[in-house]
Structure 1
Amino acid sequence: MSDAFTVRVAEDPADREACFAVRKEVFVAEQGVPEDIEYDAHDADAVHLLAVAEDGTPLGTARLLHGAAAAAKNGGDLSAGSLGRLAVLRRARGLGVGAALVRAVEHAARERGLTGVDLHAQTHALGFYERLGYQAYGPEFPDAGMPHRAMRRAL
């Protein structure tokens, strides 16, 4: 596989379906997250980002919550967005897709006037987010049966 890929906002139904298919493969099939909790009401209003190979094959996805949806996840702070559902297909890991998706979420947050991005990271991914400038805070907590920590980065 070539290392060439692009990240774009998923604007049309086909792009959104590609995002959901990546999430299903990574979270439901690979990690065992129950499908009924993987998709939620926030998906309708979220900004979805999609990473695709040069040939258009989906490689990864992430979503940005903003406004009340983000505030509900980050302690009521309306100035911060919430990065979530970051998923990269196994065959695309190690190519920089995850980092590019995080930066695209941050860009989308800045475009909406947000001054920070919060996220709930699986604990095995803390180092990945720390390398991108995120800092963990608060205690470890379970989410979908896996340990997580809250993290934040000012924009």
Structure 2
Amino acid sequence: MPSKVEVRKVNDPAELEKVFAIRREVFVGEQNCPPELEWEFEDESTHFLATVDDEPAGASRWRKTDKGYKLERFAVLKKFRGAGVGQALVRTVLDDLPADADYVYLHAQVDAATLYARFGFEKVGEMFEEAGIQHYKMIKPSSVREKLKEELH
């Protein structure tokens, strides 16, 4: 069992290549996503690399959109799945968002929706297809809305 999962923000070209290699293997290789859909908004995104015992294991990013802050491209290499890498990525990405990030959302592959739900994300709308894979739009209610919900119950 892996002993040390670490996630760090990366912008060095060599580190970014590790991020892109993980995404290429998971999304293009395993999930047959069209490569032209995989490589967009790279320069405006904040990228993260997860390692297990210093070996590249997962990747993700966030970016500001016209709607709010979108979490994207969560990918964990097959040999590291189930080792807490996905949770570490979500936690680190959420912690990195600016303080004014009041609308945080993502498009979750159906199989990953329960992971995001553990961090307070809620499904909104119907299931939809993106890059040939079924997804749910999920939002993380802001702390203000969460407080209001608690007061109403």
TM-score by length of 2: 0.87
**1:14 partner SS:** helix
**1:110 partner SS:** coil
- Mapped contact 2:5–2:84 kept (Cα < 8 A): no
Q: How far is the alpha carbon of 1:122 from its aligned partner?
A: 0.9
Inter-partner Cα distance in structure 2 for 1:95 and 1:110:
28
The 5 A counterparts of 1:142-153 are: 142-153=129-140
Structure 1, unmatched stretches of 5+, are 72-76
2:15 matches 1:28: no
Q: Deviations over 1:2-33 (max 9, x none)?
A: 23121000121111111000000100111111
1:53 is matched with: 52
One-letter amino acid matched to 2:131: A
Spell out structure 1 runs of 4+ moving beyond 6 A: none
**1:43 partner SS:** coil
* Structure showing greater Rg: 2
Structure 2, unmatched stretches of 5+, are 143-153
- Mapped contact 1:61–1:87 kept (Cα < 8 A): yes
Give the total of aligned pairs: 142
The two structures, once aligned, show a CA RMSD in angstroms of: 1.4
2:11 is matched with: 11
Inter-partner Cα distance in structure 1 for 2:92 and 2:98:
10
**1:44 partner SS:** coil
1:100 is matched with: 88
Give the share of equivalent positions with the same residue, in percent: 38
